[in-house]
Structure 1
Amino acid sequence: MADALKLFGTRDPVAPVRRLQAGRLTADLVSGNLRAVSFAGIEVLRSIAYVVRDRDWGTYDPPILDLDVEDAEDRFTVRYRAEVSGPGDTRLAYAAEIEGRADGTLRFAVEAVPRGDFETNRCGFCILHPIEGVAGTPVEVEHTDGTREASRFPDAIEPWQPFQDIRALAHHPAPGLRATCRLDGDAFEMEDQRAWSDASYKTYVRPLARPWPYRMADGAANRQVVTLTIDASHDAVPASPAPTGGPVDVRLGASLGEAMPRFGLAIAPEETADILARLDRLTSLAPAFLLFHFDPLAGHGAGALEAFARIAALVPDVEPVLELVVPGRGDTAGELDRAAHLVRAAGFRPQTLVVGPAADRRSTPPGSAWPACPPLDEVYRAARAAFPGVRLGGGMLSYFTELNRKRVPLGELDFVTHATNPIVHAADDLSVMQTLEAIPFITRSTRAFVGDKPYRLGPTTIGMRQNPYGSRTMPNPDGRRIPMADDDPRARGLFGAAFMMGYAARLQGAGIEAWTGASLAGPRGLLLADGGVVPAFHAAKGLAAVSGAARLDLVSTRRDRVDGFAALRTDGSREIWLANLGPEDEDVVLDGFGPEVAASRLDETSFEAASRGAMPPLEPVGTGLRLPPYAVVRLVSPQAP
């Protein structure tokens, strides 16, 4: 039996999944909501979920009560109730009914009744359309006034809602298949969730332009219904679901003409003592750069800069990068001059500077007033003057969402940067891994408005270092899977290493100059309190070792199951890393790796040794291998003739 602590860094139980089926219609019931709604094996909707969110956009996770599931060959029915405890003595009780039929009709209805005036930012349905195979394809939108609009799902990521005032959406998930999703009970609109690295377009209840948080009146019932209807051509759609198993073929090819990103680590002031006490781990990992975060508004001062200087002096071959939050509370030039004086007085000599006003770390949703913020051209010019001779980067210290909504002036910048985070909206294992699908859309959308300007990315940790959408990140002392958590335990399991490798895979073709793919210490770090390291330490070390190396083409036939990257080492050999991105064993067929390929596996059996800092030795493999859940494997192959 798999060891949950090794896989996920926590024994927090995974929510059970129950497969519902009525003829060719299938869906997974998870925590009272539906996932992977499919017809004949073709995913139609990624999710239909009834969600209740607090004033910080935290999602309540109430227990499912009185669950009743009826299964028949041509129909399934689900009924349950749930109750949320809100601020004070307020509660929200709701009852749900789900019905699916073999003709492709699915109905999900919920009635919610507050006890006391219940405060929430959102209460109602969120419907997710998948992105792969759907982005850029036609969609028909029916509005609440009955008018119809022929349009397309966005290809480049939309900064604002692509569709508003929605009553129904119709699209073609596959040739011969038309799916219509009707929404009743409130006003709905769509946002492009790829902006947050979610692998979906989300249609949700209550427009963001309306005030939030808002109060649901005591005793006033709110009823919402989602109805999915599917029209299928029997000539085009299989009579039964297609098989999804079988081995994954991975083919190794020639050079792509691009370099691997230079790989670096993030360091915050509160983490410096641990790093200085365990400098051997830093030198062993050998990152290409260190991103030192400094925020005067968080109380960071001379002591933090002096610690940065000590660390930088001990690793002189590593590029020191200062990430500086500009308070924006008055004279911008004066603020940057004072920061530069502190930096010089501490003996810290950054080679690269990233600046961003504090105001831009907060999200500005549609309909909200933009906060007071100094003009970015002024910020960048003042930074140039205060820190002469350094490379200057700008963009967002938060996420792509904010960069896409406020596109920065490029003239003064040497590069553009932003971060990503995979647990903004959902934190179950599948959703986190599915965010990897969105990374190429994010990088391609960024390129569309920054052109060939050098592009840096990160930090990209699973745990959230800051929350642009609420007053705080969510504390997680029990090591659970919760959105917006400051500390996600999966970063300490094999899951975290697999996620990092999957992220590296999705950067192929993006032309990323540098990538801050991890924190070294702290709640999101690679170092453990007992002196050991997390599995992702070895993944990060592998990425650091090939910083700037020529990237080789690597193609997986099932990127959702197994993915990775390949690089050409200076000795002419080929370095390949693969990861199993899911909870099942995966058989992998290797193509183009050559007869002398050797592998080192990071999995449950090698977990203990790896936590002490040692990867297993390389051993010969043939043309295939089996990867256990969330396993990571390093392969080395002689250069092809």
Structure 2
Amino acid sequence: MVADALKLFGTREEPAASRRLRAGRLEADLVSGNLRTVAFAGVEILRAVAYVVRDRDWGTCDPPIRDLQVEEDDERFRVRYRAEIEAPDGARLAYSALIEGTADGTLAFAVEARPDRAFETNRCGFCVLHPIRGVAGTPLRVEHTDGRVEDARFPDLIEPWQPFQDIRALAHEPAPGLRATCRMEGDAFEMEDQRAWSDASFKTYVRPLARPWPYRMEAGTPDRQSVRLTVEGAPPKTRATGRADGADGPVALRIGAPLPDPMPRFGLAVAPEETEAALARPDRLRDLAPAFLLFHFDPLAGHGEAALAAFARVAALLPEAERALELVLPDRDAPADEAGRAAHLVRASGLAPQTVVVGPAADRRSTPPGSAWPACPPLEEVYRAARAAFPRARLGGGMLSYFTELNRKRVPLDGLDFVTHATNPIVHAADDLSVMQTLEAIPFITRSTRAFVGAKPYRLGPTTIGMRQNPYGSRTMPNPDGRRVPMAHDDPRARGLFGAAFLVGYAARLAGSGVEAWTGASLAGPRGLLPAEGRTAPAYHVAKGLAALGGARRLELRSARPGAVDGFAVRRADGRLELWLANLTPEPQEATVEGVGPGATVSLLDEAAFDAASGGNLPPERPAGERLRLPPHAVARIVAPQAP
């Protein structure tokens, strides 16, 4: 592990150890007892094969691996291990696993699990992830449990519900000349389109969601499941795997023509518990100069007059910024009454929001397949009530949660000035690779939203790494030790270079989306740009750059390996060219940029510059050479003085 893990990841917790398994042309990474980046002949076949146990809040259990045995030679590998999970009530689930791979392209993963007494879980079994890159929209053959075969396609636009159910096997062509079949035994499987949560995968998982959950596994009864992958044929040429660091040589980037949509306006989220820290650092708020502030107001969380008064004080520090209010209606009285009471408090506070985003409390909860929809006033009534209560404000609606919920409950558009939703990259997994890979899904999310909102203006709500609310359980996950935890309200990587690189990568994937405004960070609090000790996170400097470039003319920027190095380019009002690039990997990368003229300068935010950046200073500019060396998770800002 590198010495500066705290600077890279905001935590000294080491990432889970990874071991590359090889059998001829078959390869896979063994991580925490599961398989990642399963590839054959250099082509990624499966993103993951994982045995997963989830609790009643859909939290993922992470038991230690015991008695690990790995045997490997040129033609085969074999892995054995044991693991045990203890539930809060003391029940234990023990399981043993066997993984075997052979050079002919066969991979088998089998698990037997046995609880010592009734064991409560929302899911216990295999999840198989197909990558989305090069797979979305392509042919797929589905074999069902009754033997029926269906010729279909992986979804192109994101499916709100399971595209395939009652699955026994899936067959697809990951590359011309290559055919892969994945057979799953032990129960009925079904597929969900994980892009909805910004995961970069189609997930096929055990136990249909239409069955009750949580459920109890019976004491002493073994549960046996297996996944078997077979690969036939060969691609016309070796291709890079899905690993971001899997190709040699510098990453080539090329600047192209102007894009039709400008850079989105960049704003900050502000919750009541974050106002004190924001008010204590007025210099940082003014220096960052976001285009808008999104104030979150939820009467069910006890927010009232004091919260709104504090919002007004924060807004007064930046009078030129748009004041946006995110209003939760409690669903206890008529929408007109609740919106009217909120408007009365807002007027008394002096906040005077120019924009109001409204949503009923019921819609913050997910409604999974097979579940009953919660009671909720018609959204047309909610929006009419908000319009009447705030007649001078632009009105936004959609979901205060994520795209998943918006896609499942598509809102009426006629009463809205814009549609919005949030995203979060740690709903299902929180390892570094999975979080960065979620960036692949962002263009699918924005394109799928456009497919049903049409030309209606479109905004993105908070998109921080840490989760501010959990629509899928009773709470977000506490993270006092600063670990990599799915659904955690506080993710330490936001305070490291990782968080800055993620923010650049997210901005890169908004190209062509038509998103007009984007809440990409919080100023303070556990997901904020100002850590508790009063210093600035590296992402602060990226956010400042994004705020300054809102509305600028965006240029096409193509990366030969966007999973390794990606970024965005703009033509500023003064005619100069500005680029932001990020190394999205934990390995050093080199990059070349075609289309940058002479006299360009670069400012590099990396481990060496971390301390100065934490004090609020972006590293000084230096001449940019033909090749740019980007240390792990480094961010580079390049400015060219004139058009090339």
Band of TM-score, shorter chain: over 0.9
Q: Deviations over 1:355-405 (max 9, x none)?
A: 000000000000000000010000000101000111000000000000000
What residue in structure 2 maps to residue 332 of structure 1? 335
Aligned letter for 1:518?
A: A
Is the Cα contact below 8 Å between 1:595 and 1:622 reproduced in 2?
no
1:369 aligns with 2:372: yes
Alignment partners' CA distance in 2, 1:453 and 1:213: 39
User: 1:238 deviation in Å?
Assistant: 4.7
Alignment partners' CA distance in 2, 1:238 and 1:462: 34
Structure 1 runs, 4 residues or longer, greater than 4 Å off:
237-243
> What TM-score, normalized by structure 2, do the two folds share?
0.98
Secondary structure of 2:259's aligned partner: strand
User: 1:239 deviation in Å?
Assistant: 11
What residue in structure 1 maps to residue 614 of structure 2? 611
Is the Cα contact below 8 Å between 1:167 and 1:182 reproduced in 2?
yes
Is the Cα contact below 8 Å between 2:265 and 2:517 reproduced in 1?
yes
1:546 aligns with 2:549: yes
What residue in structure 1 maps to residue 249 of structure 2? 246
Aligned letter for 2:247?
A: T
Q: Deviations over 1:541-575 (max 9, x none)?
A: 00000011111111111100000011111111011
What residue in structure 2 maps to residue 571 of structure 1? 574
Q: Deviations over 1:153-201 (max 9, x none)?
A: 0000000000000000000000010000000001100000000000000
User: 1:87 deviation in Å?
Assistant: 2.6
Which of 276, 300, 304 is the equivalent residue of 1:301? 304
Secondary structure of 2:101's aligned partner: strand
Is the Cα contact below 8 Å between 2:43 and 2:238 reproduced in 1?
no
Secondary structure of 1:606's aligned partner: helix
Could you tell me which runs of 5 or more consecutive residues in structure 2 were left unpaired when the two chains were aligned.
Answer: none
Q: Deviations over 1:11-44 (max 9, x none)?
A: 0111111000000000000000000000001000
Which of 262, 266, 270 is the equivalent residue of 1:267? 270
Secondary structure of 1:300's aligned partner: coil
Alignment partners' CA distance in 2, 1:132 and 1:254: 24
Which of 510, 517, 520 is the equivalent residue of 2:520? 517
What residue in structure 1 maps to residue 436 of structure 2? 433
Alignment partners' CA distance in 2, 1:416 and 1:531: 35
Is the Cα contact below 8 Å between 1:50 and 1:126 reproduced in 2?
yes
User: 1:241 deviation in Å?
Assistant: 8.6
Alignment partners' CA distance in 1, 2:123 and 2:239: 39
Alignment partners' CA distance in 2, 1:229 and 1:184: 14
Secondary structure of 1:202's aligned partner: strand
Which of 424, 427, 442 is the equivalent residue of 1:424? 427
Is the Cα contact below 8 Å between 2:56 and 2:473 reproduced in 1?
yes
Aligned letter for 2:545?
A: G
Alignment partners' CA distance in 2, 1:364 and 1:112: 29
Is the Cα contact below 8 Å between 1:176 and 1:237 reproduced in 2?
no
What residue in structure 2 maps to residue 32 of structure 1? 33
- In structure 2, relative to structure 1, the CA distance for the partners of 1:609 and 1:240 (3 Å cut) is closer
Secondary structure of 1:316's aligned partner: coil
Alignment of 1:70-85 (within 5 A): 70-85=71-86
What residue in structure 1 maps to residue 225 of structure 2? 224
1:236 aligns with 2:236: yes
User: 1:291 deviation in Å?
Assistant: 0.2
Is the Cα contact below 8 Å between 1:89 and 1:116 reproduced in 2?
no
What residue in structure 2 maps to residue 209 of structure 1? 210
What residue in structure 2 maps to residue 393 of structure 1? 396
User: 1:287 deviation in Å?
Assistant: 0.2
- In structure 2, relative to structure 1, the CA distance for the partners of 1:239 and 1:397 (3 Å cut) is closer
Is the Cα contact below 8 Å between 2:190 and 2:208 reproduced in 1?
yes
What residue in structure 1 maps to residue 559 of structure 2? 556
1:479 aligns with 2:482: yes
Aligned letter for 1:598?
A: T
What residue in structure 2 maps to residue 185 of structure 1? 186
Alignment partners' CA distance in 2, 1:239 and 1:123: 34
Alignment partners' CA distance in 2, 1:347 and 1:87: 47
User: 1:350 deviation in Å?
Assistant: 0.3
Alignment partners' CA distance in 2, 1:29 and 1:245: 22
Aligned letter for 2:382?
A: V
Secondary structure of 1:408's aligned partner: coil
Which of 467, 471, 474 is the equivalent residue of 2:470? 467
Alignment of 1:616-635 (within 5 A): 616-635=619-638
Secondary structure of 1:180's aligned partner: strand
1:457 aligns with 2:460: yes
User: 1:258 deviation in Å?
Assistant: 1.5
Could you tell me which runs of 5 or more consecutive residues in structure 1 were left unpaired when the two chains were aligned.
Answer: none
Alignment partners' CA distance in 2, 1:333 and 1:258: 37
User: 1:2 deviation in Å?
Assistant: 4.2
Alignment of 1:309-328 (within 5 A): 309-328=312-331
Q: Deviations over 1:228-272 (max 9, x none)?
A: 011114x73559999721110111223212210000000000110
Alignment partners' CA distance in 2, 1:514 and 1:101: 50
User: 1:531 deviation in Å?
Assistant: 1.7
Alignment partners' CA distance in 2, 1:473 and 1:240: 37
Q: How many residue pairs end up in the alignment?
A: 640
- In structure 2, relative to structure 1, the CA distance for the partners of 1:240 and 1:505 (3 Å cut) is closer
- In structure 2, relative to structure 1, the CA distance for the partners of 1:625 and 1:220 (3 Å cut) is same
Aligned letter for 2:110?
A: A
